[in-house]
Amino acid sequence: MGCQYFEPTDNGANSFTVAMPKLTFGRGSLAEVGERAKALGFKKVVLFTDAMLESGPIVEIVRQSLKQQSIEFSIFSDIRIEPDDDCVMEAASMLKDAGSDGIISVGGGSVIDTAKGALLVAQHGGHIRDYFAAPIGSGKPVPGPVLPHIACATTSGTGSECTSITVIRINELDTKFVVASPHLLATQAIVDPQCCDSLPGNVVASTGFDLLCHALECYTARAYTKHLEVKDPNARQLIQGSNPFSDLSAQKALEIAGEYLVRGVADNSDREARDNLMWGATLAGIAFGNSGTHLPHAMSYGITHLMKDITTDGYPVSSPFIPHGISVIVSAPAIFNYTADAAPERHLEGAAFLSADAKGATKDEAGEVLSKRLIELMRETHIPNGLSGVGFDQSHVKALAESSFRQQRAIANAPRDSILVDLENMYNGALSYW
């Protein structure tokens, strides 16, 4: 492409692929799920959700919609926040026994990711660990399609309804890893903003920073032309680096986060802000589903791996627990300050999309301008003050860096190379900001 950031390189990719599910967005759209399932030929489905949603009004809408279309369904709801490999294997076993011709998932990232993992194992066998990249797993490629899947998002952050990845905690290693394959992309996604009407402000803050970081990491990711060309076009992953398509949705998602995040957190009844954040989360999901995240997500995994005795108000989860969006944003200002050197224009543009005052800023100031804007947004939405705000101090930095350094695929998608000591330096810079 004739854009400086996507300049051709020796042995680099010269094309990119775009994929996303058929998407329906809008208030009331969840009630269409039965008709959509019927049109896909579903007669019998497994409905994936979590225990809290199962007894609430959102899943009731889905139940009624399926009943109206005479679609038989069974429910799998034993899904915890941050699902693990045991949960996926249990879900896969249930799905295999159910003999369904499709699935519907209704929930946040934990539910949708469990559904994707269960579809994979139920269809192609083995253990979910087989599909993680070596040395964590066996690096087995996903060999082909899985059952059709209608993914219905109930939070304004994950974007998982639009991506080809699933994030699963491996109990034995006590950390999360990613399985990515275009075959894991849902057949259809339904995003109904009314699902978020009752979410408390602190949940919207966490999911909002997840969406913000998805978009900002995509926009600043290594260009697809700087990733090695994949000779077999069918083996090309959608995690392929930033590209002109992911730029479009990432830019809009950042503008939405800059305009509506503080409003959506401050006022549960601000429907304009909440609806826009849901749209922003969808756009950010489409962006990172076609480009991939980088260091803020990679370095969040060390944080959730090593968290101890930490609780977070507003979540029905026992300690230790840090919401995903918070585990990502607490290091982000320090990380973008580091990565800005490799792509200063992109970092300045990202800051401007987030409504920062970037006028007249030089390339040398790009990292500072962007991290300052992120810190402003964190303070305005009552996010913990960096790593110290979620229970870590300087003595934990080395272990955090060693844990996160295993996330090589995401680290390689950053615009700037980093070795172990660079991760330590970034974590040190993230200890506190104010």
d(CA 42, CA 71): 7
Closest separation between CB of residue 293 and Fe ion, Å?
7
Contact segment (CB under 5 A) with Fe ion among 21-29, 93-101, 209-217, 233-241 equals 209-217
Closest separation between CB of residue 43 and Fe ion, Å?
34
Closest separation between CB of residue 72 and Fe ion, Å?
34
Q: Is the Cβ of residue 204 or residue 358 nearer to Fe ion in the bound state? A: 204
* Sign for the pseudo-dihedral over CA of 171, 176, 177, 180: positive
Q: Is the Cβ of residue 36 or residue 214 nearer to Fe ion in the bound state? A: 214
Please tell me whether residue 259 binds Fe ion under the rule CB under 5 A: no
Closest separation between CB of residue 399 and Fe ion, Å?
22
Site string for Fe ion, 160-199 (x = CB under 5 A): ----------------------------------------
The number of beta carbons lying within 10 Å of the beta carbon of residue 228 is 10
Contact segment (CB under 5 A) with Fe ion among 15-23, 129-137, 205-213, 237-245 equals 205-213
Closest separation between CB of residue 70 and Fe ion, Å?
37
Q: Is the Cβ of residue 161 or residue 210 nearer to Fe ion in the bound state? A: 210
Candidates 50, 84, 113, 210; binder of Fe ion (CB under 5 A) is 210
Contact segment (CB under 5 A) with Fe ion among 131-139, 208-216, 256-264, 419-427 equals 208-216
Closest separation between CB of residue 141 and Fe ion, Å?
24
Q: Which residues bind Fe ion (CB under 5 A)?
A: 210
